[in-house]
Structure 1
Amino acid sequence: MTEKTTILLAEDEPALGQIIKESLETRNFNVLLCEDGEVAFKTYKETEPKLLVLDVMMPKKDGFTLAKEIRKENDEIPIIFLTAKSQTKDVVEGFTIGGNDYLKKPFSMEELIVRINNLLQRTQLQKTTEIIKIGEYTFDFRRQLLQFKNEKEIQLTHREAHLLFHLYKNRNEVLDRSIILTKLWGNDDFFSARSMDVFITKLRKKLSQDSSIQILNVRGFGYKLVC
């Protein structure tokens, strides 16, 4: 029998939490349901979940605070935020503190399950990918590190590393904007597109020491990594 993947779910609405738990369990996940951020952090410390689904607005400790504390100990575990918030700054804050994806309430269970599976697959890919050469840079995807020649290593965020990896896989070809948004952000709405533009700008800066490398914006289509 295939071993079940353990997911930690922090949701303070009992009815919604139970619906999510039962739905995920029908897909062969083992779900640890916690009613607030403090219980969730204690449960995280005592178990070994493979993915976290965190409600943003929770009593005692909100989802963003919980994610910050967990990221101090583990920068690899995938985190999905559940939120009723839709302001751009809230979405960006979630990504900035280490979130990998977010879902705005109300959402469909099928969408949540697809995003969970995508994140778990990407995490597995990250563990198996070898070191990549991009121009004069060495890109260690697994450790999320970028290094120019023999200079100091640059730490990338989880999303920066995955974005660069997908650009590299499609190097010298146009990477469709909607495809990369769907793969890494879960959808191609306005908030996700704005967030991706910010990450592209950050990657350009971090790759700027090698003038032969460019990330081109192909208007109306997407981006192209030239190297």
Structure 2
Amino acid sequence: MKYNLLYFKIISITLFLVVSITSCTLEKENGHSGTIKVALREAGNQLLLRKLDSTSLILPIKELKPQVYLISFEKPISFEPSDVVTVIDSSLNLLSLSKNYRVEVVQCTDGEVAYSYQMNIEEEQTIIPCAGRNLPKACYHIKVEFLEIISQSSFKKRWTPYVLIFGILMYAGFLYLRKFKKQPISEEKNSSYSSIGSFQFYPEQNKLVKSATEISLSKKECELLEIFVANPNQIIKREALTKKVWEDNGVFVSRSLDTYISKLRKKLKDDDSIRISNIHGVGYKLEVDDVV
């Protein structure tokens, strides 16, 4: 159960990191979208100014779908296609935006494309049809679609690092879990312990084990029990116990030994075959019935 919980924690942390990275990416994309809208609004403003129109409104820039935007105008307008090419390219360059995009001048009435062209960072892939034919005054939308962002190669380029990070974290978690699962078995095999009746005493780990139940021991309890286990069924004088356990550990109070002996008795009470007896005026003895 505890290993499943550990694995769940590893998965949760990994997913948290991936979600955090994704969130940061989305935040960057949202910021990128806002920058594009600013650039396209400026492009619309420049087109109006070229027609000496400084009063007509540019309607809010719409994002039709990821990386596809629409410029709309309050009033009908006429276009010189070369102005559209120049103004949009200049506005995007001003904010260091993508050079790979497609532009369509769409008629509001029927949705037909009145003029279109494609720009690309690779000159041979740039397509600009004849720009000398003016478009008559009418209602137009200008649709700008950024190409490389939605391309498959760009998607792979963007997400591949995150997939790799996720895979590395998952693999690291698997290795850690496998090591962690093996560790208790290794400890049980390699840790030395002494048998006291039905108990297993692990002095290095300060614990008793009985039927898979662990009983923690304090440092003093562990040191006292070590002495008793090394000398079963033998009387150990009080002076010897106090000297070995308290000699280099500060001030010894006369009742301290009795207090710790009482604590040990409570922790050993579940096995009737072992007991710590008080030898009046002398000391204590660990009595173990099965010692030969």
- From the CA coordinates, give the structure whose radius of gyration is larger: 2
TM-score (norm 1): 0.40
Give the structure-2-normalised TM-score: 0.32
Choose between structure 1 and 2: higher helix proportion. Answer: 2
